[in-house]
Structure 1
Amino acid sequence: MNQTRRREETFKRLFMSQFYPDDGYADVVKASDELETLDPEAEIRPYIEPELGNGIGEADLKLINDKVEAIRAHLADIDAVINENVTGWKTSRMAKVDLTILRLAVYEIKYDDTIPTKVSINEAVELAKKYGTEKSGSFVNGVLSRIIKALGIEEPAKAPAEEKPNE
């Protein structure tokens, strides 16, 4: 499984975790893991959501679940960083999709040295476009830009515009 797909699965589980108390979330993770590792040809397959049971390996599930738990462990700090860098919003009032994406990206930017800041921001914006509202992508991008400036991280260079072939 590639990093983009793992990030998307992490986003889904982190999003889901907001709706369960800590003790109930462990049961949900266990049930999700069982569905995720189902053989795509299993008899139950037609009765579950299409994206479940697609053969996510145990190693990937461990990476995903470990990252969700790490984010949850740093949630107070992550939310403080977000709250300090938004105008007119607080995490308590944000759309859950946008908040989850910001939490994931801030975790990667602050705590995961293996992922370049530019990649975290770009992937967060893509997740926001896919799962959020039409304004989510620009909202997430703006908040993350303020956060990296506040953290003293050099803003990633923008990719050069694609040249159009001569006609």
Structure 2
Amino acid sequence: MAQRREAREAVLQALYANEIGKGRWEDIIKSVIKPRLSNDTEIFKFAERLFLKIVNNQEQIDEIIQEHLNNWRLGRLNTIDRLLLRIAITEFLYYEQIPTKVSINEAIEIAKKYSTKKSGNFINGILDSALEQLNKDGRINKKGRGLIETSYKS
């Protein structure tokens, strides 16, 4: 869905502003997300909720990502890749109506636009591994027909 992709891109930019500038969340929402999405209230609310869910649960989300980084520390990752991983993991855990394969595909496609040539494959590998573990741990709670996918290969 193009509108949700635009929302995810706005969230990526807001997370980047938060990561680099350490500003107030309210100011970041007002200056980064709102101008891009102000003509669609529903999409703006989706982006705002996603951004806040990530910043409020960042420690837990980062722990999940770190578990799947072999011989790497989270802080060494490309900033855009790290932020895209946070977005997708948040959707896995907290957005029961978004299929996991959609979250993975969106992260890969946005990485192709904003990150390095190798980022799509890297993000796919980390998310596939994290999803497998989260499923084993019973932490994925998706509702609706066909919403649970265990793997997505780009």
Q: Would the TM-score normalized by the shorter structure come out above 0.5?
A: yes
Compute the displacement of 1:118 (Å).
0.6
**1:122 corresponding residue in structure 2:** 105
Name the CA distance, whole Å, in 2 between partners of 1:33 and 1:119. Answer: 21
- Point out 4+ residue stretches in structure 1 off by more than 4 angstroms: none
The count of residues paired between Structure 1 and Structure 2 equals 141
Name the CA distance, whole Å, in 2 between partners of 1:135 and 1:17. Answer: 25
Name the CA distance, whole Å, in 2 between partners of 1:33 and 1:146. Answer: 30
**2:32 corresponding residue in structure 1:** 32
Write out per-residue CA displacement over residues 74-106 of structure 1, whole angstroms, 9 at most, x where no aligned residue. 100000000001112121111100000000000
**1:43 corresponding residue in structure 2:** none
Where structure 1 has 5 or more consecutive residues not aligned to the other structure, the ranges are 37-51, 160-167
Give matches, 1:1-167, under 5 Å: 2-23=3-24, 25-32=25-32, 36=35, 56-152=39-135, 155-156=150-151
The answer to which structure has the higher helix fraction is: 2
Write out per-residue CA displacement over residues 85-135 of structure 1, whole angstroms, 9 at most, x where no aligned residue. 111212111110000000000000111111000111111111111111011
User: Sequence identity of aligned pairs in percent?
Assistant: 32
Higher relative contact order (CA 8 A, sep 6+): 2
Name the CA distance, whole Å, in 2 between partners of 1:123 and 1:108. Answer: 11
Write out per-residue CA displacement over residues 23-77 of structure 1, whole angstroms, 9 at most, x where no aligned residue. 3x4323323356x1xxxxxxxxxxxxxxx5x754344323212210111111000
Q: TM-score, normalised to structure 1's length?
A: 0.74
Q: CA RMSD in A?
A: 2.3
2:48 partner amino acid: N
